Amino acid sequence: MSEPRVLVIGAGPAGVRAAEALVAGGISPVVVDESPRSGGQIYRQPPDGFKRPGKALYSFEAGRAQRLHQTFANLRNHMDYRPETLVWNVRDGVAHTARDGAHGEIPFDAVIIASGAHDRVAPFPGWTTPGVFTLGGAQVALKYQGCTIGRRVAFVGTGPLLTLVAWQYAKAGADVAAVIDSATLGDKVAALGALAKDPATLAKGIYYAAGLRARGIPLIHGAVPLEAIGDGRIKALRYQDGAGREQRVACDAVATGYGLVPETRLADIAGCRFAFHEPSRQWLPETDDDGRTAVTRVYLAGDGMGIAGANAAEARGALAAFAVLADLGRSVPMTTVAAHRRRLAATRRFAAALDTAFAYPAGLAATMADDTILCRCEAIRAGDLRHAANDLGAGELNRAKALIRLAMGRCQGRMCGAAAAEVLAAALHSPVEQVERLRGAAPAKPIAMTLAAKP
Amino acid sequence: MAGTPDGQFFRVAETDRKIVAITVDGVAVTALDGDTLATALLTHGHHLRQSEFGDGPRAGFCLMGACQDCWVSLGDGRRVRACTTLVVDGMAIHRGNDL
């Protein structure tokens, strides 16, 4: 019998640990990754020729990052690694790829989709002005390019990334104008008990906040953005503070993000079922504890299944690989599986607490002004979506998409999706899960027509 | 520090790299080996492209290949994402409206 063909999509923490477990189980996987080097977003490696040590790039996570990179380097001769390659379709046991304008097809007996996550966005007036970037983007600029997104940066959003990236900027010498968090201190205190289940992570959050305060940087809670001001470039950020007063902070860049969204397009295209996850107000693909989906041959791993963080992603990557091995009739080390499951259970409780401490500002999104751009791809405004709901009979997101091209643009709803659901639900006076979810379709990301036309 | 006074991005580290010559809308500028097109352009200016929908300039947003708001044109006719494409010596980059 020929060796089973196993494909791993993504070379972040989940993909790398999946590949490692597959190789240990006697299978040489194909590993496809969009980036030129492994690590995913969190442990992203700079291009060749960059010299900062891991400690400068990954702070407390330097050890973990280094181990992950080393693990992947050690697998080099045991896998077929294809960097800078986009998987844009997964169907009937075949993955369709694009690399440098060339089409490829990878047949598989099993695929582990470890597609990661990106920032969850809450649009506000001026958010398309040059100089406004996501928190993750601000971090990429620093980690991957040694640049800050501006000289004086305002941070506005919520979630662990908010204080982390602000602290990294301050440490790198940038002027951090303010850190404006939509979560109230009360939200955070209420979640403290559960957050303390992961004392190391909790301690880091406290450390970053203390570091910012020590530098005299204002940390404002219960506050939301009103407008990024500037014509062609950012001059200031207007926001409403926790007491409801309007404030203004001068800056030349804004970093924003409200937690993370799992990247689920490929899971969707592959036919996975989804269920609404109330705590995070998101639709997540359904899997069993090890990442098996209801679709034969399709497994999920990492933050693409639902946000649980990098440590959980490593465990989920290994578990998905063990599930593949078991389903292929290979033996799996049950004590190792059990250890990963325990590790994962602990991170789940912590992730649930994060949903409480750093909730998506659904009300802010739902009440955005009619003339605020919601879809940045095609400059579709919140009022257009309300018009679709109230006058055109758009009872759910996909109908709205058909009517007004919301989420029809190049990003396919990645940036506007979370807020659009809130706007539509509010317009229809219905719970957000009733407006359903934006369905994914191939290609998962833009590709050249000439490429798609090839058989 | 190697950041021009008028750029959006500001270099705070890793400035000891080989200098690469490129053109932006026909104007010669320098970048550093290992820069993405986004970095090369935004250390000299404030935008990467114009919105096709008339609402002004854009400079990208997510910087990780998700938002698709940083597509630029190259002299050889290719269109690429500025945040995931590295500069090559001699590259001609266009930020124009001709999308």
What CATH number did the domain enclosing A386 receive? 1.10.10.1100
- Is A445 domain-assigned? no
- Is A452 domain-assigned? no
Q: Which residue segment(s) compose the domain that A34 sits in? A: 6-118+261-355
Looking at the structure, do residues A344 and A366 belong to the same domain, yes or no? Answer: no
Looking at the structure, do residues A35 and A94 belong to the same domain, yes or no? Answer: yes
Average pLDDT over residues B80-95: 96
- How far is the alpha carbon of B49 from chain A, nearest alpha carbon, in Å? 10
CB pairs under 8 A between A and B: 148
- Of the residues A147, A161, A261, A449, the best mutation for testing chain B's interface (the one with the most B CB atoms within 10 Å of its CB) is A147
Looking at the structure, do residues A329 and A389 belong to the same domain, yes or no? Answer: no
CA nearest B7 in A: which residue? A150
Task: Tally helices (H) and strands (E) across chain B.
Answer: 1, 8
Any idea what the Cα angle at residue A237 is, between residues A235 and A239, rounded to 5°? Answer: 160
- Is A230 domain-assigned? yes
Of A299, A333, A355, which residue is a domain's last? A355
- Is A168 domain-assigned? yes
Closest CA relative to residue A282, chosen from A438, A115, A396: A438
Question: What's the CA gap between A138 and A255, in Å, rounded?
Answer: 6
Looking at the structure, do residues A311 and A366 belong to the same domain, yes or no? Answer: no
The confidence score (pLDDT) of residue A206 equals 87
Looking at the structure, do residues A172 and A232 belong to the same domain, yes or no? Answer: yes
- Chain A residues inside the 8 Å CB shell of B12: 142, 146-148, 172-174
Of A340, A355, A370, which residue is a domain's last? A355
At B99, is the pLDDT very low, low, confident or very high (cuts 50, 70, 90)?
very low
Looking at the structure, do residues A276 and A231 belong to the same domain, yes or no? Answer: no
Looking at the structure, do residues A128 and A242 belong to the same domain, yes or no? Answer: yes
Name the phi and psi angles at A288, rounded to 5.
Answer: -85, -175
- Which A-chain residues 212-271 have CB contacts (< 8 A) with chain B? 231-233, 252-253, 263
- Chain B residues inside the 8 Å CB shell of A173: 12
B34–A contact, CB cutoff 8 A: yes
pTM, full prediction: 0.96
Q: What is the CATH number of the domain that holds A231?
A: 3.50.50.60
Looking at the structure, do residues A78 and A136 belong to the same domain, yes or no? Answer: no
Extract the residue ranges of chain A whose pLDDT is less than 70.
1, 452-455
**DSSP code string of A7-21:** EEE--SHHHHHHHHH
Which pairs from A76-80 meet CB under 8 Å and 24+ separation?
A78/A23, A78/A28, A79/A19, A79/A23, A79/A28, A79/A29, A79/A30, A79/A31, A80/A28, A80/A29, A80/A30, A80/A31
- Chain B residues inside the 8 Å CB shell of A177: none
B76–A contact, CB cutoff 8 A: no
The confidence score (pLDDT) of residue A33 equals 98
A174–B contact, CB cutoff 8 A: yes
Instruction: List, in order, residues 6 or more apart from A59 with CB less than 8 Å away.
Output: A168
Question: What's the CA gap between A312 and A14, in Å, rounded?
Answer: 8
- Residue B3 scores a pLDDT above 50: no
- Residue B81 scores a pLDDT above 80: yes
CA nearest A44 in B: which residue? B64
B68–A contact, CB cutoff 8 A: yes
- Is A441 domain-assigned? no
The verdict on ipTM greater than 0.90 is yes
Residue A150 to residue B55, Cβ atoms within 8 A: no
Looking at the structure, do residues A13 and A75 belong to the same domain, yes or no? Answer: yes
- Of the residues B1, B6, B9, B47, the best mutation for testing chain A's interface (the one with the most A CB atoms within 10 Å of its CB) is B9
B1–A contact, CB cutoff 8 A: no
Domain count of chain A?
3
Instruction: List, in order, residues 6 or more apart from B26 with CB less than 8 Å away.
Output: B92
- How far is the alpha carbon of B81 from chain A, nearest alpha carbon, in Å? 10
Structural domains of chain B, ranges and CATH numbers in brackets: 19-94 (3.10.20.30)
Closest CA relative to residue A448, chosen from A10, A86, A7: A86
B85–A contact, CB cutoff 8 A: no
* Structure tokens given for B40: 């090369």
Q: What is the mean pLDDT of chain B?
A: 92
Looking at the structure, do residues A202 and A89 belong to the same domain, yes or no? Answer: no
- Is A442 domain-assigned? no
Provide the β-strand partners of residue A80. Answer: A30
Of A258, A273, A298, which residue is a domain's last? A258
- Chain A residues inside the 8 Å CB shell of B43: 147
Looking at the structure, do residues A114 and A134 belong to the same domain, yes or no? Answer: no
Looking at the structure, do residues A164 and A287 belong to the same domain, yes or no? Answer: no
The confidence score (pLDDT) of residue A176 equals 98
Closest CA relative to residue A116, chosen from A317, A384, A345: A317
- Of the residues B1, B6, B8, the best mutation for testing chain A's interface (the one with the most A CB atoms within 10 Å of its CB) is B8
Alpha-carbon distance values, A388 to A365, A396, A397 (Å): 17, 10, 10
